[in-house]
Copies of this chain bind each other. A is one copy, B any other.
Amino acid sequence: MNATPATPQSVGIVQTEYVDLFSDGQTSLALDCGATLAPVRVAYETYGRLNADKSNAILLCHALSGNAHAAGRHHENDRKPGWWDNFIGPGKPFDTDRYFVICSNNLGGCDGSTGPSSINPATGRPFGLSFPMITIADMARLQKALIDHLRIPQLMAVAGGSMGGMIALQWGLDFPDAMRAVVVIASTPRLSAQNIAFNAVARQAIMVDPHFNGGDYYGEGVERPVNGLALARMIAHITYLSEKGLHEKFGRQLQDRKQLSFGFERDFAVESYLHYQGSTFVKKFDANTYLYITKAMDYFDPFPDPETTAKRLLAFNARLLVISFDTDWRFDTSRSKELVKMLNWHRKTVTFEQFRSIHGHDAFLIDDPHYMESLSSFLKRLLSEIRHPKVALT
| A residues with CB within 8 A of B | 32-34, 129, 132-133, 190-194, 196-198, 200-201, 203-205, 207-210, 227-228, 230-231, 234-235, 238, 241, 243, 246-247, 249-252, 260, 262-264, 266-268, 270-271, 274-275, 278, 291, 295, 298-299, 301, 304, 329, 332
Contacts and interface: CB of A to CB of B under 8 A. Distances in A.
A192 B291 contact: no
A231 B252 contact: no
Contacts of A271: 196-197, 200
B193 A247 contact: yes
Contact of A275 (B200, B234, B291, B299): B200
Nearest to A261: B133
B208 A252 contact: no
A305 to B, nearest CB: 11
Number of copies of this protein chain within its complex: 2
A251 B193 contact: yes
A214 to B, nearest CB: 10
A149 to B, nearest CB: 27
Contacts of A228: 208
A203 to B, nearest CB: 7
Contacts of A291: 264
Contacts of A231: 201, 204-205, 208, 231
A262 B33 contact: yes
A234 B204 contact: yes
A270 B238 contact: no
Given A193-B252, A250-B193, A295-B264, A270 B200 contact: yes
30 contacts: A34-B262, A133-B263, A192-B243, A192-B246, A192-B247, A193-B247, A193-B249, A193-B250, A194-B238, A194-B243, A196-B252, A196-B271, A197-B234, A200-B270, A200-B271, A200-B274, A201-B274, A203-B264, A204-B234, A205-B205, A205-B231, A208-B227, A208-B228, A243-B332, A252-B301, A252-B304, A264-B295, A267-B298, A267-B299, A329-B329
Contacts of A246: 192-194, 197
Given A207-B264, A227-B208, A264-B207, A238 B201 contact: yes
Given A133-B262, A235-B235, A268 B207 contact: no
Q: Which residue among A34, A243, A247, A249 has the maximum number of chain B CB atoms within 10 Å of its CB?
A: A243
Contacts of A260: 299
A262 B296 CA distance: 9
B238 A198 contact: yes
A254 to B, nearest CB: 11
Contacts of A274: 197, 200-201
A329 to B, nearest CB: 8
Given A33-B262, A200-B271, A200-B274, 17 more contacts: A129-B264, A132-B262, A133-B262, A133-B263, A192-B243, A193-B246, A193-B251, A193-B268, A194-B247, A201-B235, A204-B230, A204-B231, A204-B275, A210-B210, A235-B235, A264-B295, A267-B298
Q: Which 4 A/B pairs are nearest by Cβ-Cβ distance?
A: A193-B246, A208-B227, A33-B262, A133-B262
A246 to B, nearest CB: 4
A102 B115 CA distance: 58
A205 B230 CA distance: 10
A122 to B, nearest CB: 19
A73 B299 CA distance: 43
A207 B264 CA distance: 10
A260 B299 CA distance: 8
Contacts of A190: 252
A244 B205 CA distance: 25
